Structure 1
Amino acid sequence: MEYFIVGDVHGCFYTLKRLLQYWDSDHQKLIFVGDYINKGQHSHKVVELIRTLQHKYPGTICIKGNHEYEMVQYIEQHVPIQDIKENFRHTLSQYDLKDKYRDDLKWMKSLPLYYEDDVVYVTHAGVNWLGLRKFKENSGWSVLRYRGRLKNMKKLQVFGHTPTESKHAEYSKKYNSLNIDSGAGNFDNMTAVLISESGKIKKVYTENVKKEDYH
């Protein structure tokens, strides 16, 4: 089966729906690299859609992003609202993860940090070049938040987290890695990539973030 891997979403529900029109659910495994919430206007709708897809297509993989991790930390540690980052506060004003949608928070907490098989290695931020503390969630070296030189995983590594300068997916031959964060969090683009069963990049889909997602 091929892989359809979606980059950072950041609450951009209508852009995500547009990208998913390219997904062939019968022949492509659906994978998300994380950061479903914050910045865009529709975090709740994004999570609702992704959880619905995960239920309907049990093979769907949803990786944890640093925004999901931090949201869980804020709520579980009872951080005062004034001490929460602005874009998290904005999300919470519309999306009651503390009470009404507490099950969504549990879902965020339970998400895996990576997906790996013989063909691809998928994380939110990529594996640091030393492989140091890569699964220690509160570390700057972790696959939740690392930015820098990567480790070659001997298979195609796909990640997001750091928006590319080109605002399109960027491949590194040196690390056999593909960054698919094209800047949805900055209201630039959202990207999905189709990977073959042998780990080759077959097609890249890039959509401008829809105005409905940031107005």
Structure 2
Amino acid sequence: MQNNSLFVITYVVGFKRQIAIGDIHGCYDVTVELVEKVVCFDPGSDQLIFIGDYIDRGPDSKKVVSYVSALKNKYPQQIVLLAGNHEYLALEAFKLRTTNHVQLWFINGGISTIQSYGSYEAAQSALVPFVETLEFYYETEDFIFVHGGIPIGDTVTTATPKSLLWERNYAIYHGKSAIVGHTPHKKVHKYKHAIVIDTGAVFYGKLSGYDVVNDKVYEAVDAVIAKNPRG
């Protein structure tokens, strides 16, 4: 994760679709289905903005991180990878190494991430460099993409990085239109100035994408999770 003054990246490119993808949480199969079969990602005309929370809770954090990293490496301008609060929890656990930080990550789903990598050391080796490349927000002419939200009275440049990951004020937020994740909803939910795209892949089995250019929702469903929802 970079210095807050450097977080914003704006590409002035005429993408036909700009699709924000919600919280994945280790759900690899439904991620591939959404990107490759439902959205049918076309790097010649599309941009994908992943809203963060790639890891934790679900069984395949390692595969998810490898998948989105490969996409980013192959299509650096077409793929935007934002940080989520779960990546922040993992980074704090690995770097600060206090019992409290490790326990906080573990009780929020970190154990499943360790299991997917096979060991704490393997997870640390892979995740620290990955997380440190993630942006805290992405801004275009019409939208701000951020994992949690923007605190009232702040902008994306004045807010603390942590607040951008944990904020949940979308119902009263009144700034530039924001595309956010972080808080699971049963479907993509539009507020006056914010659109929440976290549809609980790991809880309800639905991973959603929202195309801001064409105001269109894309959905992929994990039938097993959907049949036995966790929340």
TM-score, length of structure 2 as denominator length: 0.78
Identity, % of aligned pairs? 27
- Which of 14, 33, 49 is the equivalent residue of 1:31? 49
Q: Supply the AA of the counterpart residue of 1:127.
A: I
More helix by share: 2
2:19 matched residue in structure 1:
4
Q: Which residue of 2 aligns with 1:136?
A: 160
Q: Could you say what secondary structure the match of 1:50 adopts?
A: helix
1:44 partner SS: helix
Task: Specify which of 204, 211, 215 is matched with residue 217 of structure 2.
Answer: 204
Matching of residue 158 in structure 1 with residue 179 in structure 2: yes
- Answering whether residue 36 of structure 2 is matched by residue 18 of structure 1, we say no
1:22-51, CA deviations, whole angstroms, 9 ceiling, x for partnerless residues? 122211111100000011100000000000
Q: Secondary structure at the match of 2:135?
A: coil
The residue type paired with residue 201 of structure 2 is: A
Do residues 48 (structure 1) and 66 (structure 2) align? yes
CA distance in 1, matches of 2:223, 2:56: 15
Query: Please, which moves more after superposition, 76-85 or 54-63?
Result: 76-85
Change beyond 3 A, Cα 1:212–1:151: closer
| RMSD value, Cα | 2.4
Partner of 2:4: none
Find out whether 1:89 has 2:111 as its counterpart.
Answer: yes
Q: Does 1:190 align with 2:221?
A: no
**Residues 63, 126 of structure 1: CA spacing in aligned structure 2 closer, same or farther, 3 A cutoff?**
same
CA contact 2:24–2:202 (8 Å) conserved in 1: yes
Q: Given the superposition, is the C-alpha separation of residues 62 and 34 from structure 1 closer, same or farther in structure 2, using an over 3 Å criterion? A: same
Q: TM-score, normalised by structure 1?
A: 0.84
- Looking at structure 2, the residues matched to 144 and 84 of structure 1 have their Cα atoms a distance apart, in angstroms, of 15
Paired with 2:183 and 2:205, the residues of 1 have a C-alpha distance of 13
